[in-house]
């Protein structure tokens, strides 16, 4: 562990704090510095700031550099279904309980470990820890992900997500019943001030837009389709809680349910334009068995 102190000169005025640090210490990633910032290991003028803080002349940054943990990117036989594959990309159906890429808390058994085991080539834009990864799903969320096999495909798919032209649809079971049959949720989402592992609706967060449509109602639950217009961390889970109807089985934003490993949230539909053929492609993944069983149980109680 090493402490560094940097004084900002005129050449770096207006830069984001996390971007400046990544440029200053190029052997580390921007996400590494974001993690340091989120955990209070970076101060500006003896105060903690957010990753997006815009630097000013003569700001004094104090940073505690920690050597990143060595994380496995070895090939491992991790179970997941390949829905579609060609020379540019692969569409996978991620099971509940599988983390997308290695991190400090999960070093083995991730989707990336499984991809390396089964796929010969993956894009290198996101580095050795996240090869091919264009977007993510939470550990306990199941469903569809598109993975890039070369950098050209990665750039195209990432741009579609950024431009909000990639369509992602989810199915979820919520606690209680939503008041409206359909609608949109527009808020700002940011890191929870009391618990840095959680996200929350905050005035100073980033804009988040989710559409919803109730498919089926039960006595104490409802079956809902969600579509994302933005892709904030935990967006659907946070918005469901914001509406007062958390996703069933969500241990973080709702409550734990006996017999369920995690939330009943499934990314069932994915639409994007193929980076080479330029044709629109749509894929669907059926609900996992545990989700269907819970749904059948609710239908039997009607």
Is residue 154 classed as helix, strand or coil in its secondary structure?
A: helix
What is the reported pTM?
A: 0.78
State the pLDDT confidence band at 104, using cuts at 50, 70 and 90: low
Partners of 171 in beta bridges? 225, 266
Domains and CATH numbers, the chain: 2-65 (3.10.290.10), 71-163 (3.30.2350.10), 164-282 (3.30.2350.10)
What average pLDDT is seen over the chain?
A: 91
Catalytic residue among 18, 59, 138, 250: 138
Structure-token pair, residue 103: 């991190």
Share of the chain above pLDDT 70, in %: 94
pLDDT at 42 over 80: yes
pLDDT value, residue 173: 98
DSSP per residue, the chain: -EEEEEE--GGGTT-BHHHHHHHHTTTS-HHHHHHHHHTT-EEETTB---TTPBP-TT-EEEEEE-PPPP----------EEEEE-SSEEEEEEPTT--SS--SS--SS-HHHHHHHH-S----TTTTTSTTB-S---TT-EEEEEEESSHHHHHHHHHHHHTT-SEEEEEEEEES--SSSEEEEEEEEEE-SS-TTSEEE-TTSEEEEEEEEEEEE-SSEEEEEEEESS--TTHHHHHHHHTT-PBTT-TTTS---TT-SS--EEEEEEEEE-TTT--EEEEE-PPPHHHHHHHHHHHHT-
Mean pLDDT of 119-146: 86
| CB atoms near residue 243 (< 10 Å) | 18
Partners of 60 in beta bridges? 7
pLDDT value, residue 1: 65
pLDDT at 68 over 60: no
pLDDT value, residue 241: 97
What would the pLDDT profile of 250-296 be if each residue is shown by its tens digit?
A: 999 999 999 999 999 999 999 999 999 999 999 999 999 999 999 99
> Lowest mean pLDDT: which of 20-24, 60-64, 210-214, 279-283?
20-24
Contact 115/94 with Cβ under 8 angstroms? no
> Lowest mean pLDDT: which of 1-5, 87-91, 140-144?
1-5
Q: 81 an active-site residue?
A: no
pLDDT value, residue 231: 87
pLDDT at 22 over 60: yes
Q: How far apart are CA 165 and CA 290, in angstroms?
A: 31
Residue 134: φ, ψ to 5°: -100, -40
What would the pLDDT profile of 49-58 be if each residue is shown by its tens digit?
A: 988 999 999 9
pLDDT value, residue 58: 94
pLDDT at 123 over 60: yes
Mean pLDDT of 165-185: 97
Whole-angstrom CA distances from 301 to 176, 232, 247, 288, 297 are 14, 35, 19, 21, 7
pLDDT value, residue 102: 79
What would the pLDDT profile of 206-262 be if each residue is shown by its tens digit?
A: 999 999 999 999 999 999 999 998 889 999 999 999 999 999 999 999 999 999 999
Is residue 249 classed as helix, strand or coil in its secondary structure?
A: coil
pLDDT at 71 over 60: no
Q: How far apart are CA 51 and CA 33, in angstroms?
A: 8
What would the pLDDT profile of 184-206 be if each residue is shown by its tens digit?
A: 999 999 988 888 789 999 998 89
Contact 127/29 with Cβ under 8 angstroms? yes
pLDDT value, residue 128: 65
Q: How far apart are CA 89 and CA 133, in angstroms?
A: 10
Nearest alpha-carbon partner for 95 in 237, 285, 224: 285
């Amino acid at each position: 562990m090493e402490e560094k102190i940097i004084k900002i000169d005129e050449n770096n005025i207006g830069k984001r704090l996390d971007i400046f640090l990544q440029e200053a210490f190029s052997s580390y990633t921007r996400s590494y510095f974001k993690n340091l910032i989120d955990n209070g290991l970076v101060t500006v003028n003896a105060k903690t700031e957010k990753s997006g803080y815009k630097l000013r002349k003569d700001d004094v940054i104090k940073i505690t550099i920690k050597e990143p943990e060595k994380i496995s990117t070895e090939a491992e036989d991790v179970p997941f279904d390949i829905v579609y594959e060609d020379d540019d990309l692969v569409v996978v159906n991620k099971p509940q309980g599988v983390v997308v890429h290695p991190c400090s808390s999960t070093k083995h058994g991730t989707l990336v470990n499984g991809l390396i085991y089964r796929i010969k080539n993956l894009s290198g834009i996101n580095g050795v820890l996240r090869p091919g990864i264009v977007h993510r799903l939470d550990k306990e969320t199941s469903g569809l992900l598109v993975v890039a096999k070369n950098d050209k495909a990665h750039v195209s798919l990432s741009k579609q997500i950024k431009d909000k032209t990639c369509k992602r649809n989810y199915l979820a079971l919520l606690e209680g019943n939503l008041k409206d049959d359909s609608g949109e949720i527009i808020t700002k989402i940011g890191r929870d001030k009391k618990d840095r592992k959680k996200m929350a609706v905050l005035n100073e967060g980033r804009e988040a837009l989710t559409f919803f449509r109730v498919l089926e109602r039960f006595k104490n639950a409802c079956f809902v389709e969600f579509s994302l217009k933005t892709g904030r961390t935990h967006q659907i889970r946070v918005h469901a809680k914001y509406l007062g109807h958390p996703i069933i089985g969500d241990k973080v934003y709702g409550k734990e349910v006996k017999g369920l490993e995690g939330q009943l949230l499934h990314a069932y539909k994915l639409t994007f334009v193929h980076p080479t053929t330029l044709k629109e492609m749509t894929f669907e993944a059926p609900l996992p068995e545990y989700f269907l069983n819970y749904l059948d149980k609710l239908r039997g109680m009607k």
